[in-house]
């Protein structure tokens, strides 16, 4: 999948493009619109926390770092067990899983409060009233759907990104 980013000049143009993308088989959950706080999207598919923040990225890092820290802690606990306690491989796995879980929660909380840095280049235009349309499309349809968007908005600059999971 690829994510197309397109600045749209107004709601009517955005609505026309969204409707045509739906007609082309793009499901609504693959369409995301970002607007400034003063704009009502009038039925357009609004981007949610997954698209507007670094939540997914935070969870990925949290699982990795927390799992590594838990694994290290588990290995140390098995290597140097507390007096009178016999620990085995299960302790290492439990520590790694616990560390991954705690890391995911902590990083998710941090990531959910940080804006998506991929959207920084569009901040000024969004503030001026433009709408940012993000569309998740199959890799083999990027060019065809870009042409469809340009049929409604010929001067559109379309950014193509790998979406964050």
Residues pairing with 161 in the sheet: 3
Between 66 and 49, the more confident residue is 66
pLDDT at 124 exceeding the cut of 80: yes
Residues 63-70 have a mean pLDDT of 93
Contacts of 104 (CB under 8 A, 6+ apart): 59, 62, 63, 66
Residues 109-116 have a mean pLDDT of 75
Place of tokens 């926390």: 49
Residues 49-54 have a mean pLDDT of 74
Q: For the sheet containing 131-137, what is the strand order?
A: 31-34, 131-137, 2-8, 158-161
Least confident of 25-29, 37-41, 100-104: 37-41
In order of 36, 52, 110, 123, 132, the CA distances from 113 in angstroms are 17, 10, 6, 17, 20
pLDDT at 152 exceeding the cut of 90: no
Whether 9 and 132 have beta carbons less than 8 Å apart is answered as no
What local confidence, expressed as pLDDT, does residue 45 receive? 92
Q: How far apart are CA 32 and CA 18, in angstroms?
A: 9
Domains for the chain: give ranges and CATH numbers. Answer: 2-52+116-161 (3.30.70.120), 55-111 (no CATH)
What local confidence, expressed as pLDDT, does residue 27 receive? 94
pLDDT at 107 exceeding the cut of 70: yes
Mean pLDDT of the chain: 86
Spell 72-107 as b/e; 16+ CB within 10 A means b.
ebbeebbeeeeeeeebeeebbeebbebbbebbbeeb
């Amino acid at each position: 999948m690829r994510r197309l980013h397109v600045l749209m000049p107004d709601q009517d143009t955005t609505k026309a493009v969204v409707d045509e993308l739906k007609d082309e088989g793009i499901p609504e959950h693959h369409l995301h619109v970002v607007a400034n706080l003063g704009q009502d999207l009038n039925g357009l598919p609004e981007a949610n926390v997954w698209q507007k923040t670094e939540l997914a990225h935070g969870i990925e890092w949290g699982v990795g770092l927390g799992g590594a820290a838990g694994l290290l802690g588990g290995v140390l606990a098995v290597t140097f067990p507390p007096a009178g306690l016999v620990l085995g491989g299960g302790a290492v796995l439990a520590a790694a899983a616990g560390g991954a879980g705690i890391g995911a929660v902590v990083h998710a909380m941090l990531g959910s409060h940080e804006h998506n840095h991929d959207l920084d280049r569009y901040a000024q235009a969004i503030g001026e009233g433009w709408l940012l349309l993000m569309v998740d499309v199959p890799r083999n349809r990027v060019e065809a759907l870009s042409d469809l968007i340009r049929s409604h908005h010929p001067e559109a600059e379309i950014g193509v990104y790998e979406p964050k999971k």
